């Protein structure tokens, strides 16, 4: 199973827990002195992808850029942790084509209603107020079986249990 650096891609709705779990994973791997870098979708949206909007073609380009950056970093002997929504099949298909055997998916699940209640970044509040388009009504394609292989339910499990489930899989790939 070990074939060089991996890209551990956490995807799911905004508010599902991707960023929290990615930060915890990054910290744990750093504590173990494993060469790792983290790419968060929100951070990249405000920097490398700041010229992109949220229309379907812009979302696809956003994921292409992130996957290409992750691919380059993995080529430099770094494990990469990515956290983005990747809501559509076309986003995940593009990521998979770019990263191939380097990619390990983690589907971070929480229903839309729960994510809207959590709303850690206030984006659902902004969307309900009409300030943010293409979020609540934007389609989120159900993960396919291969994308659900590492299914992390942040509603039925606490943060520590979710972190441990992810870490167990990651350790198998190190």
Domains, the chain, with CATH or none: 7-173 (3.40.50.300)
Kindly tell me if the per-residue pLDDT of 35 is higher than 60: yes
Q: Whole-number mean pLDDT of the chain?
A: 91
Predicted confidence band of residue 135 (pLDDT cuts 50, 70, 90): low
Report which DSSP code applies to 102: G
Task: Find all residues with CB under 8 Å of 64, minimum gap 6, and list them.
Answer: 94, 98
Site of tokens 């942040």: 154
pLDDT for 2: 62
Joined tokens for residue 173: 């790939």
Report the percent of the chain where pLDDT is more than 70: 95
Whether pTM > 0.95 for this model: the answer is no
Distance CA(111)–CA(109), nearest Å, equals 7
Q: What is the pLDDT of residue 134?
A: 62
Asked whether the predicted pLDDT for residue 132 surpasses 80, the reply is no
Query: Residue 88 to residues 85, 95, 140: CA-CA distances in angstroms?
Result: 9, 11, 6
Give pLDDT tens digits for 58-86: 999 999 999 999 999 999 999 999 999 99
Q: What are phi and psi of 5, to 5 degrees?
A: -60, 145
Could you give the percent of the chain with pLDDT greater than 90?
72
Q: Report the candidate in 118, 107, 114 with the shortest Cα–Cα distance to residue 152.
A: 107
Q: Which residues pair with 8 in a beta bridge?
A: 81, 104
């Amino acid at each position: 199973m070990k074939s060089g650096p991996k890209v551990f891609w956490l995807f799911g709705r905004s508010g599902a827990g991707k960023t929290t779990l990615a930060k915890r994973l990054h910290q744990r791997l750093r504590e173990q002195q494993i060469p790792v870098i983290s790419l968060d979708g929100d951070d990249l949206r405000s920097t490398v992808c700041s010229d992109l909007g949220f229309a379907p073609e812009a979302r696809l380009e956003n994921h292409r850029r992130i996957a290409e950056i992750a691919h380059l970093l993995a080529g430099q002997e770094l494990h990469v942790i990515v956290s983005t929504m990747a809501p559509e099949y076309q986003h995940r298909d593009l990521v998979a084509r770019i990263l191939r055997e380097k990619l390990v998916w983690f589907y971070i699940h929480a229903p839309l209603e729960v994510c809207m209640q959590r709303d850690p970044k206030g984006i659902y509040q902004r969307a309900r107020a009409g300030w943010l388009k293409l979020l609540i009504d934007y389609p989120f394609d159900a993960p396919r079986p291969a994308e659900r292989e590492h299914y992390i339910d942040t509603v039925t499990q606490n943060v520590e249990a979710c972190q441990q489930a992810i870490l167990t899989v990651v350790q198998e790939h190190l």
